[in-house]
Amino acid sequence: MLIWFIYQPMNYRIDNLQYCNWSREIFEINREARLDAVHVTIVYHEDYDELLVEIKKWEQLLNKNSDIIFLGKSFLDIEKARLEKKTAIFFGFQNCSPIEDDINLIEKVHQLGCRFMQLTYNNQSLLATGCYEKVDSGVTNFGREAIKEMNRVGIVVDMSHSAEKSTFDAIELSDKPIAITHANPSFWHAAKRNKSNDLLKTLGDSGGMLGLSLYPHHLKNNTNCSLESFCEMVARTAEIMNVKNIGIGSDLCLKQPDSVVEWMRNGSWSKNKNYGEGSKNKAGFPEQPKWFKDARGFENLENGLKRVGFSVDETNDILGNNWFNFYKNI
């Protein structure tokens, strides 16, 4: 007797950027949302020694919650997470500060679990220019060498907070596709961190990935952004760059105190307060849209994407499969 099996491809759910005040509650929310992997920010302005402190904190979190999370290092861990009904945690830096001025630290941070590193966080760094600078001088000499080393060891070049010329430079210089893990198109909302059509097309043509952000300052109408508007933006973005190069990088900052966003914006480099995309009257974290309060909003995204015309396969690609395929080449 012949038994026929119908092959059904695995569909993954991946949020490729969160920076939460981590707790059991949030890990459980991510599991309820069926997230197989989350790329988490573990540093902003910290140096190498301060990074080691954060790593210790994460070791404790991973050990304490080992029944639902574990440290991911490759795409194989995303497959493992799906099978074990857990969430693989991938470490990332929103700045290059942990490597200080020592290229040898790139391999060391990779050994510690880092898989994504931004070349800049808003300001000029030793590697490239941030999106808040008035003059974009592009990727520096150190940046060129750092990109080579990141390619070699397996750390993704992330240009989410970088200026435009620097990002074009990074795409050209990197032997592997780069990522913009959390940003949106500027045609939809002209935030400083959102990206031009030309940049998005070049990113897509190079095989790079765009993680669409749910952070209110990156959304049209901020907290009041509608699900329909967001999903229509995704559809238009897919006309600029292939749908296979689009994913989600929500930039969720759940349960973070407002003192953290002040640290993100100012670090220890300024005595004057920088409010970023916020304002003096609204200096803290903005409220999330009601349809994406946390990762359980992936279900709303799934329904919304289908309503604007994406097929089931395209929707699954945007919500995780595209990131999974990108991870195969890290």
Task: Give the H or E element holding residue 183.
Answer: strand 179-183
pTM of the model: 0.94
Count of residues making up the chain: 330
Query: What is the structure's pLDDT at 269?
Result: 72
CATH number at 14-327? 3.20.20.140
Q: What is the residue extent of each domain of the chain? A: 14-327
Long-range CB pairs of 297-306 (<8 Å, 24+ gap) are 297/33, 297/214, 298/13, 298/15, 298/33, 298/34, 298/35, 298/248, 299/33, 300/227, 301/227, 301/230, 301/231, 301/248, 304/227, 304/228, 304/230, 304/231, 305/231, 305/234
53: closest CA among 43, 63, 41? Answer: 43
Packing angle between helix 298-307 and helix 227-240, nearest 10 degrees?
Answer: 60
Between CA 183 and CA 163, with CA 139 as vertex, the angle to 5 degrees is 30
pLDDT reported for residue 281: 65
* Residues 6 or more apart whose Cβ sits within 8 Å of residue 207: 177, 245, 329
Per residue, the 3-state secondary structure of 16-82, as one string, reads: EEECCCCCHHHHHHHHHCCCCEEEEEEECCCCHHHHHHHHHHHHHHHHHCCCCEEECCCHHHHHHHH
Identify the pLDDT of residue 259.
78
Please give the pLDDT value at position 284. Answer: 72
For 215, the token pair is 């952070």
| Residuewise pLDDT in 10s, the chain (330 residues) | 455 445 457 899 999 999 999 999 999 999 999 999 999 999 999 999 999 999 999 999 999 999 999 999 999 999 999 999 999 999 999 999 999 999 999 999 999 999 999 999 999 999 999 999 999 999 999 999 999 999 999 999 999 999 999 999 999 999 999 999 999 999 999 999 999 999 999 999 999 999 999 999 999 999 999 999 999 999 999 999 999 999 999 999 999 888 777 767 777 777 776 666 766 666 578 899 999 999 999 999 999 999 999 999 999 999 999 999 999 999
- Angular region, 123: left φ>0, alpha ψ -120 to 50, beta rest: beta
Strand locations in 52-178 (E): 69-71, 87-93, 114-118, 156-158
Tokens of 132: 């808040």
